[in-house]
Amino acid sequence: MPKFTLDGREISFDPGETVMEAAWREGIEIPHYCWHPGLSVAANCRMCLVHVESGRQMEMPQLAFDEKKGEYVPTTKPKLQPACQLAAAEDIVVSSTNDEVKTAQASVQEFLLLNHPVDCPICDQAGECKLQDYYYEHQATLKRKLTEPVHKPKGVRFGPTIIYDAERCIMCTRCIRVCDEVAKDHVLDMRERGNKNEIVLAPGRELDHRYTLMTEHVCPVGALTSQDFRFKARVWFLKSGQGVCTGCATGCNTHVDYDPRYGKVYRLRPRDNADVNKYWMCDDGMMTYTRHDTDRLLMPTTGRGDERMPVGEDEALDLAAEKLKAVDASKLAVVLSAQHTTEDNLALAKLAAALGADQLYLAALGGWEGDDILRSDDNNPNRAGATQAAGGVTLKSVDDLLADAQSGAVQGVVALGWASAEQLEELAPLTALDGVVSLTSHVGAFPAVASVAIPVADIFEIDGSFVNDKSMPQAFRPVLAPPTGVDPAWKTISALAGKLGKDLGFQDLQSLRQGLSDAVEAAQ
């Protein structure tokens, strides 16, 4: 591979790469605002100016103050070039830290802050703002301008998800490029020039495509803020965990931002993964975090309708085991969940095998539209994983389950997860059965018809993996602690098996995962 030198360090590059890209790949950040690895080059912020020290120097005329003469004299200075647009070439020597470049960085930074409002106290970006970071690193001087800054519209509603503040905007056009290049919808553009310019909507339009939150995500400053996250939390209090989006079968990688003091998730952000989601996520996926807190099932319950009442954990397991024992194994339906991890499903499949139940079903959500950008047609994150966990057994749908229940072929049900494609009323035939056990993190259709509902941990609280629609398994780590007395589903299933007098052959996640490869082989 050809190489060039950046600040004394050799960097190899693919022909056609820019200096910025090659450095970024090596983990070196040349300061920049408008450049984004996933977007086209605009080269309008001028923050990434670097000095090519090798080769013939380009000089730029300038007037510099001469102390001795006491006046300005014409002289020259090296012409700097934007690293984001400068194609890397063999053996060039580039500096992003010499005095010329430092002066340029400080000047650009000062220029961008000339008319910036004093908004850090009310700006959600404070704490992750490039203006703040680069001020600290590259400027660190106080204001020299004495006049009132230019004022522009603030708090402009761009759409249901995004609020725009023109005063904070540095016109990097990242948001415009996200709409053009990722969402393929030219809904934003820039108007006017100089200190009057601002981002505007296309006439008669709102910012309402499926990737609007990406405009906020790429905004290096606080010009675009998310209606959902607005004023909810301060980012410097948030910690970040690694997750996988549960929105659809694409399985976009996420940063799960949560406040450790309250154990509350505040937002998801896309986590770069070139093979899955690159740098992006859709709005619906970004909002999946809201499921976590709403309608959680925190206590085991027993009974249906008005007779539903909470019971102790152990009591619930006893009750579930008793009800399942009363059902003949051949008439027991085991419902896997396309919303749960492969590990949870595998544990349930093992329970089915241990009990001798061979009627396996799959509960999945529907009502979703895919697209050819990121969104998969299937809005269940782990249909493939659940199928693998079943080990080659054909999974019937929930419709089949209802038909079988009505025909008498099914007399008892163990179901994982709250999600199913059906409405509550449609599952009503199951209320005729006595033994319906639901293992669920949230209140939903299955727990509503269950005679025993046992809470399990939600996606942010467990170790596990999803298999996406490209058959790519992706593991994630727990971010929060589950509520008191609530375990991951695989643990609860193992405990339930114990009550039924069966040993599922795993003690921890590791030995359970060992069984996963066996199941995958069996499926093949």
Q: Which residues bind other proteins (CB under 8 A)?
A: 110, 113, 116-122, 126-127, 131-132, 135-136, 139-143, 148, 150-157, 163, 165, 196, 230-232, 234, 236-237
Alpha helix locations (H) across 136-262? 174-177, 212-218
Q: Which residues contact 147 (CB under 8 A, 6 or more apart)?
A: none
Please, is 126 exposed, middle or buried when counting C-beta atoms within 10 Å of its C-beta (0-12, 13-18, 19+)? middle
C-beta closer to other proteins: residue 157 or 470: 157
* Segment holding 63, helix H or strand E: strand 59-66
- Tell me the closest approach of the beta carbon of residue 459 to other proteins, in angstroms: 27
Residue 165 vs 458, nearer CB to other proteins: 165
CB of 238 to other proteins, least distance (A): 12
Q: Is 502 buried (19+), middle (13-18) or exposed (0-12) by CB count in 10 A?
A: middle
Q: Which residue, 157, 159, 158, 155, is CA-closest to 124?
A: 155
Nearer to other proteins, 14 or 192 (CB): 192
Give the gyration radius of the chain's Cα atoms.
29
Would you say 38 and 126 are in contact if contact means Cβ atoms under 8 Å apart? Answer: no
CB-nearer residue toward other proteins: 141 or 510: 141
User: Min. distance of Cβ 102 from other proteins in angstroms?
Assistant: 15
Q: Hey, what's the torsion of the CAs at 40, 46, 47, 52, to 10 degrees?
A: 90
Give 225's strand partners: 163
Least distance CB 237 / other proteins (angstroms)? 8
- With tokens 């319950």, the residue in question is 301
**C-beta of 17 vs 124, nearer to other proteins:** 124
Residue 434 beta carbon to other proteins: minimum distance, rounded to whole angstroms: 47
Query: Measured from the CB atom, is 130 or 375 closer to other proteins?
Result: 130
Between 264 and 499, whose beta carbon lies closer to other proteins?
Answer: 264
Least distance (Å) from other proteins to the CB of residue 119? 8
From CA 386, how far away is CA 26, in angstroms rounded? 38
CB of 475 to other proteins, least distance (A): 28
Angle of helix 509-523 relative to helix 342-355, nearest 10 degrees, comes to: 80
Cβ contact 52:89 at 8 Å: no
Tokens of 366: 């529907």
